Amino acid sequence: MNTDNKPQVFKDATDFKTQFCEECESIFSKTYDELNDFERYYALASLIAGKARNAKVDGENDEKQVYYFSLEFLIGPLLDNYLLNFGVRDIVKAGCEQLGTPLEELVACEADPGLGNGGLGRLAACFMDSMAALGINGNGNGMRYRYGLFRQEIEGGRQVEMVDNWLEHGFPWETRKNESAVVVQFGGQVVRHQDGERFWFTQEGGEKVKAVPYDVPILGYGAKKVNTLRLWSAEPATEDFDLDAFNSGDYAKAMKFRSDVEAISQILYPNDAGEHGRVLRLKQEYLFVSAGLQTILRTYEKKFGKRYGEKLWEHLGDHVSVHTNDTHPAMCGPELMRILVDEKRVDFDTAFNVARKTISYTNHTVMPEALEKWPIEVFRHLLPRLYMFIEEIDRRYRDTLPHDVEGWANVLSKTAILWDGQVRMANLSVIFAHSVNGVSELHTGILKASTLHEFYELRPDLFNNKTNGISHRRFLGNANPKYAKLICDAIGEGWLADANQLSQLEKYEDDPSFQEEFEKARRWSKERLAKYIFEATGTQLDTSMVFDVQVKRFHAYKRQLLNVFKILDLYNRILSDSSFSPRPTAFIFSGKAAQSYTFAKEVIRLINSVAEVVNGDPRVNDKIRVAFVPNFAVSSAQLIYPATDISEQISWAGSEASGTSNMKLMMNGAITLGTYDGANVEICDLVGQDNIKIFGLRTEEVDALRAAGNYWAWDLYNNDRIRLGRIIDELTDGTLAHLSGNFESIRDELSISNDHDLVLKDFYSYVDAWDELAQAYGDRRAWNKAAIHNTARSGYFSSDRTIREYARDIWHIDA
Ligand code: GPK
């Protein structure tokens, strides 16, 4: 897959081999033949990283700079994607073959940087790819965690968290930029100074931390643009090194300071859409906000200082957009004001208006427990000067609210920043933004109608929707090489640059020879996955089975439990009714649960226990199999999506903001079995009811059920002791206990919460929908047609489309 007009990275395979071997020698002082596979990978990645950094690009341009602030960038392995973007994948593949190590084996050596939890972090990475592809000046600003999200192992069916030492063997894509380090200050006291009329504040004492950036080049498709992902690392500021302790020989004391500071960039918090109450997290948030903004303003001043003179800062929003990914960077508003007012001597009102013109905010969840809040005391102690700005903005905000309108007290209680002793970060984000967006049509509707309703009433113009998207180049082009080749052979390579061209596949949906090739590609992907799963878990899967997949973070609202109930129902029915013969199916799960999320971890243990029972029972194991793939990551996801027949997207309606694995799976030709939730709604609109299977309560029905207050989940249990009741009994009657015990806590949770996540409520609708969908698999022709149709309609979900919308509506740039 070569692109036209690509810069000449390698003339041909021979040229590539020469450069590759030179790189091997310059890095390791050994010949290619003397190196092991990892070292060869490392040399190859270093060669490509060097080319990315030096790629001939359009050069400096005056267009707006977008800074995407995100605590997470789940970038995944870069090598294969950069070969695709440089248009040299075929040359490199041929060269590697000639040298004797298949490219795939080198690609597989790459560590997967675990710098994100799940969808939110991966979205940020897809956006970086699309901004570069579209030629936007898109800069990422994030954290360089020394240890990524934990590595998940399974022992006795349980998730065990291991350290993810992703930097152990080096990260060839990054460059440390000592000269760009900045100082970030925590704690201390605010001191007021006065000189005649003029007064100002400084923050004295406290702790000074040096933030050092590591830059990763982000290579756009076609290599026309290279952007930077800047990741910050915390180090002690030299002047604060405890020299006294050091000199007096108290190394432990001197070093403790060091490790306290370094702790700030040590770990990624493993909570996905969950609680973040730790001070260290607040420090992380402030560090990357402050360090990022300091360098942004420095760059801007250098570039525009002469042009604008006194009016310099008023123009910031014309040239700079700061986009805040969720509330984690919510301090961008007050921090920008602090720098402008305290350091650049801009007046308060101007600074606020500049901040608001520059900053925009994306909300990613309506789950109440995921909306960040910090105790005022903690906040003020850590960031005394910043807190003064927040307090003043909150005071002015309250003043501007019309006191005489009905419901004023309610509006205030919902929208004020400071409330009940807490700093509410979502409200802070909204008040400092000129744009607030949700991530699917449905989600944005819920923000307007409930989560942020009072803000919406006050400022409807702030709100807009930007339905999420995914990097189609990575998740189809790289991940599914056989299908991608088939698509290229049919419609050319244009779809890599313009995903809408995938619609040209519609004319092949019914084409028998295309369908045959599609099946072959799918079979190859299923074999590849089956091999991976066997090596990782020892579980053997038959690739003639339907591959039914649910891969995502473990969370009650995503309802992996509902999926397990369905599998247990199938198990029971096969055993009790010899005439019952479901479509032979392999149920594949993957995903991590937060360390402290007991319920989610028990669901993982349940899946592994069901797997043990089902896979080991010859009465059923030719009809159903269950596999749990440990340590879900971008790299393993890329093996799973292309092998999937049924995509499980079964969150209760109104809970999943968007979902993005639904898009990745659809694009790879999986059929969605889903609720009318998040972006499933839009998938349904695009592919039509015949090419998706929707089940369960709709959002309005869920709302009505909750409002009515007359749902008694245990009635369902009592009324059906044959199917649903039996499954619930099996949680505690020993059926599943062999591996590591019963599941009382899951049963208790269902009963105590009165089935909060509607697992029992949606059960029948779900199992019926699955039965029908799995039966439909038997008509291979109709199935393949629907599968190819899903790919053909998936162009809309390219993050290129999403980013064009952000650029046009929020950042106000042409792309
Ligand atoms: C939402 F709030 C959060 C969070 O902390 N982490 C996270 O990954 C996800 N998300 C949503 O749950 C998904 O529905 C959505 O597709 C994704 O963010 C990207 O917007």
593 plus 713 within the same structural domain: yes
What's the confidence (pLDDT) of residue 3? 43
Active-site residue (options: 144, 466, 552, 789): 552
Q: Is the pLDDT of residue 6 over 60?
A: no
- 677's tokens: 């939730």
- Our CA angle for 529, 534, 539, nearest 5°, is 115
* pLDDT above 70: percentage of residues in the chain: 98
Q: Is the pLDDT of residue 2 over 60?
A: no
Which of 115, 117, 120 should be mutated for ligand 1, with most atoms under 8 A from CB? Answer: 120
62 plus 177 within the same structural domain: yes
What's the confidence (pLDDT) of residue 58? 54
Q: Ligand 1, atom 3: nearest CA belongs to which residue?
A: 273
According to the 3-state scheme, what is the secondary structure of 3-27? CCCCCCCCCCHHHHHHHHHHHHHHH
Burial-class residue 196 by CB neighbours within 10 Å (0-12, 13-18, 19+).
exposed
Look up 364 and say whether it is catalytic.
yes
Q: Is residue 613 part of a domain?
A: yes
Across-strand partners of 162?
A: 151
Q: Is residue 399 part of a domain?
A: no
* CB-ligand 1 contact for 268 (6 Å cutoff): no
Q: Which of 358, 391, 424 is the last residue of a domain?
A: 391
| Range 194-204 average pLDDT | 93
Q: Ligand 1, atom 16: nearest CA belongs to which residue?
A: 659
Q: How far is the CA of 468 from the centre of ligand 1 (A)?
A: 10
347 plus 496 within the same structural domain: no
Q: How far is CA 235 from CA 71, 73, 184, 207, in A?
A: 18, 21, 10, 11
Q: Ligand 1, atom 1: nearest CA belongs to which residue?
A: 364
Q: Is residue 232 part of a domain?
A: yes
Q: Which amino acid is at 32?
A: Y
Q: Decide the pairing of beta strands 646-649 and 546-551.
A: parallel
- Measured from the Cα of 121, ligand 1's closest atom is 8
CA-closest candidate to residue 282, choices 150, 390, 380 = 380
551 plus 682 within the same structural domain: yes
- Measured from the Cα of 271, ligand 1's closest atom is 5
| Range 763-791 average pLDDT | 98
Q: pLDDT tier at 1 (50, 70, 90 boundaries)?
A: very low
Question: From CA 545, how far away is CA 526, in angstroms rounded?
Answer: 10
Look up 350 and say whether it is catalytic.
no
532 plus 383 within the same structural domain: no
Q: Ligand 1, atom 5: nearest CA belongs to which residue?
A: 273
What's the confidence (pLDDT) of residue 61? 77
* CB-ligand 1 contact for 393 (6 Å cutoff): no
| Range 59-74 average pLDDT | 91
* CB-ligand 1 contact for 468 (6 Å cutoff): yes
245 plus 361 within the same structural domain: yes
385 plus 488 within the same structural domain: no
Q: Is the pLDDT of residue 290 over 50?
A: yes
Q: What is the CATH number of the domain that holds 744?
A: 3.40.50.2000
Q: Ligand 1, atom 19: nearest CA belongs to which residue?
A: 120
* CB-ligand 1 contact for 370 (6 Å cutoff): yes
Which of 365, 369, 436, 799 should be mutated for ligand 1, with most atoms under 8 A from CB? Answer: 365
Q: How far is the CA of 197 from the centre of ligand 1 (A)?
A: 49
CB 788 within 8 A of CB 502: no
Look up 660 and say whether it is catalytic.
yes
pTM score, two decimals?
A: 0.97
Q: Which of 371, 391, 411 is the last residue of a domain?
A: 391
Active-site residue (options: 224, 323, 553, 573): 553
* CB-ligand 1 contact for 795 (6 Å cutoff): no
Question: From CA 184, how far away is CA 166, in angstroms rounded?
Answer: 26
**Which range, 194-208, 237-251, 297-311, has the best average confidence (pLDDT)?**
297-311
Q: How far is the CA of 273 from the centre of ligand 1 (A)?
A: 7
* pLDDT above 90: percentage of residues in the chain: 92
Q: Is residue 442 part of a domain?
A: no
Q: Is the pLDDT of residue 9 over 90?
A: yes
Q: Is the pLDDT of residue 70 over 50?
A: yes
Active-site residue (options: 281, 434, 664, 789): 664
595 plus 716 within the same structural domain: yes
Which of 268, 275, 285, 364 should be mutated for ligand 1, with most atoms under 8 A from CB? Answer: 364
Provide the domain count of the chain.
2
Q: Which of 391, 417, 435 is the last residue of a domain?
A: 391
Mean residue pLDDT of the chain comes to 96
* CB-ligand 1 contact for 660 (6 Å cutoff): yes
Q: Is the pLDDT of residue 86 over 70?
A: yes
Active-site residue (options: 415, 451, 467, 660): 660
- Measured from the Cα of 439, ligand 1's closest atom is 20
* CB-ligand 1 contact for 639 (6 Å cutoff): no
CB 589 within 8 A of CB 559: no
Q: How far is the CA of 594 from the centre of ligand 1 (A)?
A: 14
382 plus 492 within the same structural domain: no
* CB-ligand 1 contact for 656 (6 Å cutoff): yes
Q: How far is the CA of 119 from the centre of ligand 1 (A)?
A: 5
CA-closest candidate to residue 800, choices 462, 522, 477, 482 = 477
Q: How far is the CA of 72 from the centre of ligand 1 (A)?
A: 11
184 plus 284 within the same structural domain: yes
CB 518 within 8 A of CB 669: yes
* CB-ligand 1 contact for 679 (6 Å cutoff): no
- Measured from the Cα of 117, ligand 1's closest atom is 8
Q: Is residue 462 part of a domain?
A: no
CA-closest candidate to residue 202, choices 214, 188, 216 = 188
Look up 507 and say whether it is catalytic.
no
Question: From CA 620, how far away is CA 485, in angstroms rounded?
Answer: 37
- 192's tokens: 């007021």
Q: Is residue 273 part of a domain?
A: yes
Q: Is residue 447 part of a domain?
A: no
Q: How far is the CA of 550 from the centre of ligand 1 (A)?
A: 16
More confident residue, 110 or 814: 110
The pLDDT tens digits for 216-253 are 999 999 998 999 999 999 999 865 556 777 778 787 77
- Measured from the Cα of 443, ligand 1's closest atom is 14
- Measured from the Cα of 468, ligand 1's closest atom is 20
The pLDDT tens digits for 492-522 are 999 999 999 999 999 999 999 999 999 999 9
DSSP 511: -
Q: Is residue 129 part of a domain?
A: yes
Measure CA 490 to chain center.
Answer: 32
479 plus 387 within the same structural domain: no
Q: Which domain holds residue 361?
A: 13-391
Phi, psi of 281 (to 5 degrees): -65, -40
Active-site residue (options: 93, 281, 558, 566): 558
What's the confidence (pLDDT) of residue 7? 58
Q: How far is the CA of 658 from the centre of ligand 1 (A)?
A: 7
What's the confidence (pLDDT) of residue 728? 98
Question: From CA 238, how far away is CA 227, in angstroms rounded?
Answer: 31
Q: How far is the CA of 663 from the centre of ligand 1 (A)?
A: 14
Q: How far is the CA of 30 from the centre of ligand 1 (A)?
A: 45
- Measured from the Cα of 362, ligand 1's closest atom is 20
| Range 728-740 average pLDDT | 98
Q: How far is the CA of 370 from the centre of ligand 1 (A)?
A: 10
Q: Is the pLDDT of residue 295 over 80?
A: yes
Q: How far is the CA of 363 from the centre of ligand 1 (A)?
A: 9
* CB-ligand 1 contact for 671 (6 Å cutoff): no
Look up 276 and say whether it is catalytic.
no
557 plus 700 within the same structural domain: yes
- Measured from the Cα of 555, ligand 1's closest atom is 12
Q: How far is the CA of 256 from the centre of ligand 1 (A)?
A: 36
